[in-house]
């Protein structure tokens, strides 16, 4: 055993040898006996608080989503819900005109995207029909 180990063991035996004293042992005993008879804190309020916290956080999230969707609709100008389901009458009437001109175009109108495309398609169809 080297010197460090020896002094380490001496230190341990020194610490073990000293028994800490309670300043007033009987007072501590009485204090414990007095406090232990007090009722234990109930878990019920804590559980209720936890449930309330959960419920309020879920409600907050729900309202945040609702608010965000409303906000984005108003920012766009047209409410999204209406824009989705309300038919675009101007576009429908245009398509109807095209359909009246050429029935073949009416079948293709779902593929037509822009005004220029429409014109090109109409020209092409007129050419082919004239040739025929």
Partner 1 sequence: MNSIQIDQYIKLCLQGDTNAFRHLLSEYQQMVYTLAFRMLCNETDAEDVTQDVFIKVWQNIGKYNNTYKFSTWLYKITANLCYDRLRSVKNKEQVGLSGLTINSDTDILGSIHNKELKALILQTTERLTPKQKQVFILSDIEELDIKEISIITQMSPSQIKSNLYLARKYIKSKLKPYE
Residues engaged in binding partner 1 (CB under 8 A): 3-5, 7-8, 11-12, 14-16, 18-23, 25, 28-29, 31-33, 35-37, 40
Residues in CB range of 28: below 8 A, 6 or more apart: 22
Looking at the chain, how many residues does it have? Answer: 132
Q: Minimum distance between the CB of residue 25 and partner 1, rounded to whole angstroms?
A: 7
Whether the CA torsion 32, 37, 43, 49 is positive or negative: it is negative
Question: Looking at beta carbons only, is 12 or 58 nearer to partner 1?
Answer: 12
Q: Minimum distance between the CB of residue 11 and partner 1, rounded to whole angstroms?
A: 6
Question: Looking at beta carbons only, is 14 or 131 nearer to partner 1?
Answer: 14
> What are the tokens at 53?
């916290």
């Amino acid at each position: 055993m080297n010197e460090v180990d020896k002094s380490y063991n001496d230190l341990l035996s020194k610490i073990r040898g000293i028994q800490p004293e309670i300043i007033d042992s009987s007072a501590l005993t009485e204090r414990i006996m007095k406090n232990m008879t007090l009722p234990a804190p109930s878990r019920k309020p804590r559980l209720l608080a936890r449930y309330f916290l959960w419920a309020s956080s879920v409600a907050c999230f729900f309202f945040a989503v609702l608010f965000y969707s409303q906000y984005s609709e108003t920012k766009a100008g047209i409410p999204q819900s209406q824009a989705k389901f309300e038919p675009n009458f101007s576009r429908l009437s245009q398509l109807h005109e095209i359909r009246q001109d050429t029935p073949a175009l009416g079948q293709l109108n779902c593929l037509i995207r822009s005004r220029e495309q429409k014109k090109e398609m109409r020209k092409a169809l007129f050419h082919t029909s004239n040739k025929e």
